[in-house]
Structure 1
Amino acid sequence: MASAVWGSAPWWGPPPPAPARPLTDIDFCSGAQLQELTQLIQELGVQESWRDGPKTGPDLLRAKDFVFSLLGLVHRRDPRFPPQAELLLLRGGIREGSVDLGPSPLGPYARGPHYDAGFTLLVPVFSLDGPGQELQLDTESYSAWLCLPELMHGTSVRKAWQDCLGPPVPGGRESVHRTESEQGPKDQQSSVDQPHGDVTELDLHLNGDVTKATAESPAPPPSEAPEAWPTLCPAKVAAWFFAVLAEVAESLIPVPGAPLLVHAARHAGFTTILLATPGPPRRLLLFDLIPVVSVNGWPEGARSHSWAGPLASESSSFYLVPGGDRERPGASGWQLCFARQELALKALIPAPLLQAHAAAQALLRPLVAGTRAAAPYLLRTLLYWACERLPALYLARPENAGACCLGLLDELSRALEAGTLPHYFLSGRKLWAGDGAAALLMALARLRADPARALCATVEEAKTARKGGGLAGVGGGAHEGTPTSWKGPHLGDT
């Protein structure tokens, strides 16, 4: 009996090839295979993960303790700085979209050539808790003005902050908004919030209560109109913060085995410092320190999030950060910041979408280095809008990471072309793309034409950095653009 054969091959040979699958997993714009993009994104996540890097935990903890100790010395130098504050530490610097400061000059720093990993620290220098303080809000631009009362806790507030006062708020009494406290006593236990393996933020708290340093002040006399109150100027606060920090830094004596402060500079409304870890391997960590006003309560006009459900009760507070007023560059208005809410939202975002965002951010990083583009925070906001618009089951499927990454880049291109993006927390408010949007749009178009090639190059760069001991740059040696011969901190004001 003749044996069965497949063509000329015996039956025990390899099976015939399976019928070709419909080509539904191809990106229409570039022709890239989505499965390949997803695999590259997963590989990039392995190579760039700070948590999985060698001996990174002690480096970060020592650097964090160094910064907190530095701020303690700042209080000794200037008692206006709160002795005990609740600090919010975010993984990723401002140039990586950690906080929205608008299209402001951010300095020439680039992750890789200049530092290995970046962090943002929100440092409350003033606290609003109760009806004694007046917060005036411009409902069109959502800029805020902090009108200081005459007395607080028996102390003359205006006299203490005389060098940081700005002009009276425009608009007068009609734009007054009183924040309503919706939050109980704050939880003062130290915590680290890391909901996913690829999460890019940490939520670290110091023991202390920012509300203890602030007591309710009496209402202003009837004869004193609110529009005549002097305001706390964010630009002057940022300048004061940097000046006192510089005084403390210049007096530091290097301690063997401790991080070394090698650079500090003021950019717009925040201060950037670079810390060199003792190693080996030697790492350079960037910290963006932002002096903020913490506000207990919830601003009028802030929206809810249908996809996330109600946020935790401790999230009913927000910050005022120094931010440029696009319409009035010389104005002394603050900008509303919802970093605490964003941290809570990140814990609810599916891991594949977080991976897609991290990959898009890595691709965007070299395109925005040294520019004033606000694209990194626009990309971050698109992450929340994606959760609002797309089914959770789609975003949670690991095989969709490649498509999500391309989708985020496409949405970012549309926002850059329009010049604005709707604010996620404030209805009617727009986020501005900045003056460099046109050039960035062209660079994104070139990248979008061959995303697989761009991702391959990013993965290879991450592998090289990891072998060298660094996270995204040269490893244990000198970093390009960062002098290594400094005896002490290098201070600049730009």
Structure 2
Amino acid sequence: MAVRARPLTDLDFCSGSRIEELNKLLEELERRQSIALQGKDVLHTCLQAKDLVFNLIARVHPLTLHNAFPALYGGPVSGSRMCVLQIRFGPSTLKFLISYTLLVPIIRLPSSLHLSQSSPCHYLVGRSAWDPAPPVVGAGTVHVSPYDVSLWFNSSLLSEVSHLSESSLPLSLERAEPWGNCFSILLSSQSLSIRFDLVPVVEVQGWPPGVQYLDEWVAEDSEAPKLFHLLPWGAGGQWRVGFPGVELYMRRCLHPALSLVLRASTAVLGQILQQNGAPGPYVVWVTLLQACQRLPRGYLSQGHNAALCFLGLLEELSHLFLRGSCPNPFLPGCDLLLGSTRGPSLARHVSEVRAHPARYLRAVIREAKEVVKAGDKGEREEIEEKEERGSGCYPS
């Protein structure tokens, strides 16, 4: 009697990659990024950079009590509150880049009384909300636009940067310049680059009308702030609504396997999503949240399902970009891709990654390995060689 052939259930039909291999590559990428951050000078350099940037901001705008600005996951870069947000590797410079996105509350409001809602995603801020306003903002304006705030914020920071003495800086100041309505600062040491994107925002206590799901998170964690932020990304003087404070706590609740998927997806798609006119890595985070709502917790919390989640996330992103629509899970009627013209192009790029996931994971792993070796030729290289001999998951 003929024996029925056993199906290759661990094979990805679209790419031909084995699920086991993809899981190992995801783990290897996590390990390589962790090794990169364990260098003896990395933490010290990050703290130096943080002190420099916070002191620079303090010359322009009063700091909060604990100097803890909320930060946006996946704004211009990716982020949380003064933690390592995103690691990118560049073999051409043999440095790895740690990126931070800091939201700097220029206007703080106790309620939304000074606001008028122009769409589910956007608000207008009344002129009286910025009191006293700097002279750069005309007294006759009805609303404070993102352009008004960024014009003052960016010009003030540029003035302060021009007074910095290069010899007094603990790190090399590679670049400090306006970037749209934000301000970008790039600092570097011998093997490390640290980028700060400073975003001037409006901080508002409470929730905007129509918000959903967020009260559940605030009830579960008393430290989660019940407030929202208005981000300077909207046309015609509008501010875009965001919830970075609560989303920070959501990220902390992610199962390690999903956190791994999120970081790996950002690593292979980061440069694509940060091109001019692209939505940024925030869309990856939102899409993962939506998947968490429809998939059982038992599936998401299994480490061996990380590769399947990674592939599924790529597929979902490709569909969203092709459709040109990505609903905001917290604000019904708010579409994160509304008005974007880059959808078909982004869909093609993501589909290419989905068709060759192992190739793209190997590429970012290889870059990480080269950067780590370039950063430390001595003890670190010896550790790397021992680890590689003892690991069967690094691709040849």
* TM-score category, normalised to shorter length: 0.7 to 0.9
Distance 1:324 1:21 in 2: 55
In structure 2, the residue matched to 1:380 is: 285
1:42 correspondence with 2:9: no
| Cα root mean square deviation, aligned | 2.8
Distance 2:205 2:269 in 1: 35
User: For residue 233 of structure 2, what is the amino acid of its counterpart?
Assistant: G
In structure 1, the residue matched to 2:254 is: 349
Greater Cα radius of gyration, structure 1 or 2 = 1
Structure 1's 167 and 118: CA in aligned 2 closer, same or farther, altered over 3 A? farther
1:268 correspondence with 2:173: no
Q: Which one of the candidate residues 296, 300, 306 is aligned to 2:205?
A: 296
User: For residue 135 of structure 1, what is the amino acid of its counterpart?
Assistant: L
In structure 2, the residue matched to 1:321 is: 231
TM-score by length of 1: 0.67
Is the 2:78–2:99 contact (alpha carbons within 8 Å) kept by the matching residues of 1? no
Structure 1's 83 and 251: CA in aligned 2 closer, same or farther, altered over 3 A? same
Distance 1:92 1:166 in 2: 34
User: For residue 247 of structure 2, what is the amino acid of its counterpart?
Assistant: E
In structure 1, the residue matched to 2:116 is: 136
In structure 2, the residue matched to 1:403 is: 308
TM-score by length of 2: 0.82
1:117 correspondence with 2:23: no
Is the 2:108–2:204 contact (alpha carbons within 8 Å) kept by the matching residues of 1? yes
| Unpaired stretches in structure 2, ≥5 consecutive residues | 81-87, 377-396
User: For residue 364 of structure 1, what is the amino acid of its counterpart?
Assistant: L
- C-alpha displacement of 1:348: 1.0
Structure number with higher helix proportion: 2
Is the 2:32–2:365 contact (alpha carbons within 8 Å) kept by the matching residues of 1? yes
User: For residue 73 of structure 1, what is the amino acid of its counterpart?
Assistant: R
In structure 1, the residue matched to 2:11 is: 26
1:442 correspondence with 2:342: no
Q: Which one of the candidate residues 457, 465, 488 is aligned to 2:363?
A: 457
Distance 1:130 1:90 in 2: 20
- 1:474-493 correspondence runs (5 A): none
Structure 1's 130 and 405: CA in aligned 2 closer, same or farther, altered over 3 A? closer
% identity of equivalent residues? 31
- 1:461-472 correspondence runs (5 A): 461-469=367-375
Distance 2:73 2:225 in 1: 21
Offset from partner CA, 1:335-380 (integer Å, 9 cap, x none): 1111111101001111101111211111112334533211522111
In structure 1, the residue matched to 2:391 is: none
- 1:87-236 correspondence runs (5 A): 87-88=68-69, 90=71, 94-98=75-79, 112=90, 116-130=97-111, 133-138=113-118, 140-149=119-128, 157=131, 160-164=133-137, 230-236=142-148
Distance 2:125 2:102 in 1: 21
Offset from partner CA, 1:62-87 (integer Å, 9 cap, x none): 1111111111222xxxxxx3354654
User: For residue 231 of structure 2, what is the amino acid of its counterpart?
Assistant: V
Structure 1's 69 and 234: CA in aligned 2 closer, same or farther, altered over 3 A? same
Structure 1's 258 and 82: CA in aligned 2 closer, same or farther, altered over 3 A? same
Offset from partner CA, 1:77-132 (integer Å, 9 cap, x none): xxxx3354654254977344449xxxxxxxxxx8636861110111111110157x
Structure number with the bigger relative contact order (C-alpha 8 A, sep ≥ 6) is 1
In structure 2, the residue matched to 1:211 is: none
In structure 2, the residue matched to 1:242 is: 154
Aligned residues: 359
Is the 2:42–2:192 contact (alpha carbons within 8 Å) kept by the matching residues of 1? no
Is the 2:187–2:193 contact (alpha carbons within 8 Å) kept by the matching residues of 1? yes
